[in-house]
A and B are shown apart, each in its own frame.
Chain A
């Protein structure tokens, strides 16, 4: 498969009180078209910085990010970020949120929005506002809003960590079902190893700050995945060993 995202020699440091704080110390990463890569690492290791660089919201000090072979300039609608805090506009209805990324003159925007609302199971909530929905429903609105613009890449920055355990699992399963229907290239940032094993084709383990790639694991499990299986448990154990656990 051709590489969709190629990160080459990414380095990044931030200025702080007494000099510079290196956050990323050289990362090379290639994500194939349609591949689902999870990036796990200890908290504060620079995962989010890496995702921001991949998605174009931040610039690396050195190195480059190429999407489809072209150097990434800034953020674009080809790759939509779904973040932990959520960014569903609370002043717009669910339906208006879905329309946000679409052209107002698009004759079939109504049917497109309707399709994705159905896909995330939120038909009937078109006129609802964010504060009238639960956390899990909001996540699904955000996902639908991202999918409706037909992005090629989904960048997910700990998207489920603000949800309670049960809702998190349920939303994960939902996302996997949707990704089964339409394949996107996905980059998931998480600190939850089980979540990574559940969702990803490949798991990249980052070192503590400044981040480098410490280990890479392929996830050979068939889908839908049984997290209780012995293979999953073995994999989890070897990933946790990378964290010294």
Chain B
């Protein structure tokens, strides 16, 4: 385990070293050294604001993402299963999907103001489309022999859905959830840069505006990266579930 993580760790150390050397050599008055970033992080930890920012961002992501799951999975299953639903909804999904959630910021502020609702709405927008698309793909790629077997045994529609369609599409749905959560985390930080008074995005913009505290800016960036990694690791664990392992090669 440790041996396998060693090369990755080496790359991180090399990057940090290069960064440090560059800052020292260029005598940059603003750009922080790694040590300054660690000190800044400890400062945030000590006054307790770090957890507030992380908590605020995570709350918005969780809310927007959960609403997206509740909307996208049923919609995707329906669109995947019923040809008419696909023809009706797919064009609008494909039309809205390429619009960056960042482009929605002005409209979000107009509709929802600058409270929590705006970033939650933006997170929802960013998560819902990849999840719909993956769920539809999941249903469309169900191998025919399974549907035929179900038809052969003459089971009820309910049983067909619960025991064949949904579990067969589940691996793709989980992939969709991973993608969606990744995008959601990207977007929450961007959304928080616009307004509000908490969250990691706010921390970054506020630190820059309030006296060029670039040590705090970089600290915020590192924390975003680490949190994103943890979220992805969590989602990855779902791929290890026994009911979906059949679909993944490893």
List the B side residues contacting A87 at CB < 8 Å. 145-146, 148-149
Are A131 and B246 CB-contacts (below 8 A) given A87-B145, A87-B146, A89-B164?
Answer: yes
Considering the chains assembled together, what is the distance between the CA atoms of A2 and B168 in angstroms? 41
The answer, among A74, A86, A100, A131, for a CB contact under 8 Å with B155, is A100
List the A side residues contacting B168 at CB < 8 Å. 89, 91
The residues in A between 111 and 136 inclusive whose CB is less than 8 angstroms from any CB of B are: 129-131
Considering the chains assembled together, what is the distance between the CA atoms of A83 and B143 in angstroms? 13
List the A side residues contacting B150 at CB < 8 Å. 100
From A78, which residue of chain B is reached at the shortest CB distance? Answer: B154
Question: B38-46, B119-127, B237-245: which one contacts chain A?
Answer: B237-245
A238 at the interface (CB under 8 A from B): no
Q: Which of A57, A80, A83, A91 has the most CB of B within 10 A?
A: A91
B228 at the interface (CB under 8 A from A): no
List the B side residues contacting A86 at CB < 8 Å. 145
Q: Separation in Å of the B52 CB from the closest CB of chain A?
A: 42
Q: Is the CB of B244 within 8 A of A91?
A: yes
A149 at the interface (CB under 8 A from B): yes
List the A side residues contacting B153 at CB < 8 Å. 77, 80, 100-101, 149
List the B side residues contacting A129 at CB < 8 Å. 242, 245-246
List the A side residues contacting B163 at CB < 8 Å. 89, 92, 96, 100
A85 at the interface (CB under 8 A from B): yes
B152 at the interface (CB under 8 A from A): yes
Considering the chains assembled together, what is the distance between the CA atoms of A85 and B243 in angstroms? 20
From B154, which residue of chain A is reached at the shortest CB distance? Answer: A77
Q: Is the CB of A83 within 8 A of B244?
A: no
Q: Is the CB of A91 within 8 A of B155?
A: no
**Dominant SS among interface residues on chain B:** helix
Q: Is the CB of B145 within 8 A of A91?
A: no
The residues in B between 198 and 250 inclusive whose CB is less than 8 angstroms from any CB of A are: 242-247
**Dominant SS among interface residues on chain A:** loop
From A90, which residue of chain B is reached at the shortest CB distance? Answer: B246
Considering the chains assembled together, what is the distance between the CA atoms of A80 and B247 in angstroms? 26
B182 at the interface (CB under 8 A from A): no
Considering the chains assembled together, what is the distance between the CA atoms of A4 and B240 in angstroms? 47
Considering the chains assembled together, what is the distance between the CA atoms of A81 and B149 in angstroms? 8
Q: Is the CB of B146 within 8 A of A89?
A: yes
List the B side residues contacting A77 at CB < 8 Å. 152-154
Q: Which of A81, A87, A131 has the most CB of B within 10 A?
A: A87
B167 at the interface (CB under 8 A from A): yes
Considering the chains assembled together, what is the distance between the CA atoms of A125 and B1 in angstroms? 32
List the A side residues contacting B246 at CB < 8 Å. 90-91, 129-131
- As a 0/1 sequence over residues 160 to 194 of chain B, the CB contacts with chain A under 8 angstroms (1 = contact) are 00011001101000000000000000000000000
A43 at the interface (CB under 8 A from B): no
Considering the chains assembled together, what is the distance between the CA atoms of A16 and B168 in angstroms? 31
Considering the chains assembled together, what is the distance between the CA atoms of A4 and B152 in angstroms? 18
A75 at the interface (CB under 8 A from B): yes
List the A side residues contacting B164 at CB < 8 Å. 89
- As a 0/1 sequence over residues 193 to 210 of chain A, the CB contacts with chain B under 8 angstroms (1 = contact) are 000000000000000000
The answer, among B146, B148, B154, for a CB contact under 8 Å with A57, is B148
Q: Is the CB of B152 within 8 A of A75?
A: yes
A214 at the interface (CB under 8 A from B): no
Considering the chains assembled together, what is the distance between the CA atoms of A101 and B168 in angstroms? 17
Considering the chains assembled together, what is the distance between the CA atoms of A83 and B144 in angstroms? 12
List the A side residues contacting B243 at CB < 8 Å. 91
8 A-B residue pairs with Cβ-Cβ distance under 8 Å, sorted by A, are A57-B151, A77-B153, A91-B243, A91-B244, A92-B163, A96-B163, A100-B153, A129-B245
15 new A-B contacts, CB < 8 A, other than A87-B145, A90-B247, A129-B245, are A57-B148, A75-B151, A77-B152, A80-B153, A81-B152, A89-B149, A89-B164, A91-B170, A91-B244, A91-B246, A92-B163, A96-B163, A100-B150, A100-B155, A131-B246
